[in-house]
Amino acid sequence: MDTVIYKATEENIKKCAEIIKNGGLVAFPTETVYGLGANALISKSVKDIYAAKGRPSDNPLIVHIADKHTVFEIAKTVPPLALKFMEAFMPGPVTAVLPKKSIVPDVVTGGLDTVAIRMPQNEIARTLISLSGVPVCAPSANTSGKPSPTCANHVYFDLNGKIPAILDGGDCTVGVESTVIDFTAGAPRLLRAGGMPVETIEKVIGPVTVVRNSKVALCPGMKYKHYSPDADVFMAVPGKDIKQRMADAFDKAESDGKKAVIIAMSELKDSFGNRKVWDAGKDCESYAHNLFAFLRKADDEKYSVVICQGVEEKGMGASVYNRLIKAAGGKTI
Ligand code: TXA
Ligand code: MG
């Protein structure tokens, strides 16, 4: 199958909406990362998503909607706190997990009786969903295990030949996936840190249970290998000797004959002499925006060791930390 990249013109968005409605797959931009969309009501199309990504079938998909009212067509009940959450943060980089109605096929939810729902902020995404006239289920549009795609070329690299269409809407503004909150088990619970800091959410809906260092995966997808480039990634734990630890790790890699690169925030980037450094930006928002693209660039440019500056787990730092520690497979320095 030839994969066509369509510029996101009005006409092309319509064309892609037709593809989705008729059971085909379309990768599309959202403000977080690119998604790989299908008509959530056609089980065969949903199965095609799992096949294209090489994704384990027990890992449920998020259902994307263009209009808040659609939540009531998909969710059996919407508790008051979930309503408040939706009012404040949808559209936006968040996902709510709610009890599901039977209209949502089991293939979408991996057999769970709950469904994850997200209304993206990105206009192209919302127009596509709206024109397709159906709920659109979509995981991130990467090969399973690889960093999520933040531009159309990343999607093309992973899925060329496996899907009919990519809608190119440029770079994703946020760069990490949505924050997932579960409303089905008593107090709201954070399942995945993401594009909306949990502290901001708590200001509106009150305390959200955050489980750190959980040994069991909170959402099914979190138990799998994630965000992993081919290169070996190390995360430097924040602390006063962090520059030295990063420089030492770099030198050790190079003396072992490996091509290494450092990813550091702007304040540290000039601390490494002649060593190769990529600037992640001045704050954790920028770091989040740049991280996946850097991990992919490391593979493109054949780096075999990537040494990343770690960050504190607060605000957007929590999502950056989560992606770093997973990309590193837990390896810290
Ligand atoms: O920003 C995003 O969320 C992007 C864009 C495309 O919308 N999507 C995304 O999808 O990141 P995916 O499939 O890569 O990650 C969704 C996560 C997975 O870890 C999955 O296990 C979890 O959400 N999830 C989905 N449905 C769930 C449910 N019913 N209960 C608990 N976790 C669920
Ligand atoms: Mg994903």
Atom of ligand 1 nearest to the CA of 120: 7
Mean pLDDT, residues 248-261 taken together? 98
Q: What is the rounded average pLDDT of the residues 120-133?
A: 98
For residue 150, which of 306, 3, 286, 262 has the smallest C-alpha distance?
286
CA distances (Å), 254 to each of 269, 272, 298, 328, 332, in order? 18, 14, 15, 18, 18
Q: Is the pLDDT of residue 229 over 90?
A: no
Query: What is the best residue among 90, 95, 104, 190 to mutate for testing ligand 1's pocket, by most ligand atoms within 8 Å of CB?
Result: 95
d(CA 214, CA 182): 16
* pLDDT over 90 at 224, yes or no: no
**How would you label 267-286 residue by residue, b for 16+ Cβ within 10 Å and e otherwise?**
ebbeebeebebbbbbebbbb
pLDDT of residue 169: 98
Q: How far apart are CA 84 and CA 179, in angstroms?
A: 16
Ligand 1 neighbourhood includes 33 CB (under 6 angstroms): yes
| pTM of the complete model | 0.97
175 Cα: distance to centroid of ligand 2 (angstroms):
12
Measured in angstroms, how far is the CA atom of residue 137 from the centroid of ligand 2? 12
Q: Is the CB of 140 under 6 A from ligand 1?
A: yes
Between the CA of 163 and the centroid of ligand 1 the distance, in Å, is 20
Contacts of 272 (CB under 8 A, 6+ apart): 243, 246, 247, 250, 262, 264
For the cut 70, the answer to whether the pLDDT of residue 216 exceeds it is no
Which residue has the least CA distance to atom 20 on ligand 1? 221
Task: Give the pLDDT confidence of 189-207 residue by residue, as tens digits.
Answer: 999 999 999 999 999 999 9
Tens of pLDDT, residue by residue over 161-199, are 999 999 999 999 999 999 999 999 989 999 999 999 999
pLDDT of 217 > 90? The answer is no
State both tokens at 62. 């998020």
* CA nearest to 119, candidates 146, 89, 142, 80: 89
CA Rg value for the chain:
20
Average pLDDT across the chain, whole number: 95
The crossing angle, in degrees rounded to 10, of helices 80-89 and 198-205 is 120
Of all protein residues, the one whose alpha carbon is nearest to atom 17 of ligand 1 is 221
CA triplet 120, 125, 130: central angle to 5 degrees?
100
